[in-house]
Structure 1
Amino acid sequence: MKKILVSACFLGQKVRYDGQHSLLEHTQIKQWQEEGRIVHFCPEMAGGLPTPRLPAEITSRHPVMVVNIEGEDVTPQFLHGAELAVEKVKEAGACCALLKSRSPSCGNRETYNGKFNDTLTPGSGVTASELQRHGIPVFNEREIGQLIEFIAMQETPEVLHPEER
């Protein structure tokens, strides 16, 4: 059975910057939890940031820089959390990740633009980028259908052609 790294906030843990969670109630997630396939993780907490914490956004991608709303550089904590996420995936043998969209850590398609004006920009968060760089597919809560298909394909035994039997 393949394991999945999942943002801890989706599992009801109050680890978001605002001290809340982003509980994701989905029958497939519940089934995977019951099967022991979910590996929960919060890269921002793992990287050393407290909860609650000031909102942070990516202000530069090359090199990456993440600052909170007061202008404090929190890049080291974000980078450390991303490295720990890769370690966690390898340690657990996870095949993929389900992470919070739009997060400066976890967003896999877009994040906020670094100006704290609620404007989205294409690009991945720090942890999502690092996982993808290591070949780990990252899905968000709007892509659960694709995640379910991906897992099914990972677990479907290959069909042997008659000449290979």
Structure 2
Amino acid sequence: MNILVSACLLGIACKYSGGDNACPALLQALRQSGHTLIPVCPEVYGGLPTPRPPAERCGDRVLTEAGADVTAQYRRGAEAALQLARLYGCRAAILKANSPSCGSGTIYDGTFRHRRISGDGLTAALLKANGVQVYNEDTFAALL
């Protein structure tokens, strides 16, 4: 099976801070799974640089801590991720938890105080709306 995977979880330095979110348990499980992994970073695909200012969802918009509206870039990245899912026939994705793009079930609340609320990032929401099952680094075992 082809699976979309947040590139930062695979150790690719595309996180907003310029680092990654490599997850050793996930990497080990994926190596042994036999699945084909399709790396995806919606923020980068949407045209944002690495590093970039942190951003959080504020209702239907995505804003940086300084108040810049980056919703268009996040939407463009979500569409690119959906296009990859369709191109490769991905029915599942493992995305970075709590992210304004990739968060599934919980995201940061838009106050930049590390408080989480129920909700999905723009990419996770779009993938789910199009029939892709979304997991994160804490829930991937249910997929594998």
Q: Tell me if both proteins adopt one fold, taking TM over 0.5 as the criterion.
A: yes
| Secondary structure at 2:113 match in 1 | coil
- CA distance in 2 between counterparts of 1:82 and 1:104 reads 11
RMSD over equivalenced CA pairs, Å: 1.0
Q: CA deviation at 1:18?
A: 0.4
Q: CA deviation at 1:109?
A: 1.0
| Secondary structure at 2:30 match in 1 | helix
- CA distance in 1 between counterparts of 2:93 and 2:67 reads 30
Structure-2-length-normalised TM-score: 0.95
- CA distance in 2 between counterparts of 1:29 and 1:45 reads 23
1:73 aligns with 2:73: no
1:30 aligns with 31
Residue deviations 1:25-70 (CA, integer Å, cap 9, x gap): 23221134xx46000010000000000000000011xxx1000011
2:12 aligns with 13
- CA distance in 2 between counterparts of 1:52 and 1:8 reads 14
Q: Pick from 87, 95, 116: which aligns with 2:112?
A: 116
- CA distance in 1 between counterparts of 2:24 and 2:91 reads 21
1:134 aligns with 2:137: no
Identity %: 39
1:153 aligns with none
Gaps of 5+ in 2: none
- CA distance in 2 between counterparts of 1:144 and 1:82 reads 20
Bigger radius of gyration: 1
Q: Which 10-residue stretch deviates more, 70-79 or 111-120?
A: 111-120
1:125 aligns with 121
Which segments of structure 1 move beyond 3 Å, counting only runs of 4 or more?
none
Gaps of 5+ in 1: 149-165
| Secondary structure at 1:94 match in 2 | coil
Residue deviations 1:68-104 (CA, integer Å, cap 9, x gap): 0110000000000000110000101112000000000
**2:32 alignment partner AA:** Q
Matched residues, number: 142
| Secondary structure at 2:91 match in 1 | strand
Partners of 2:91 and 2:131 within 8 A in 1: no
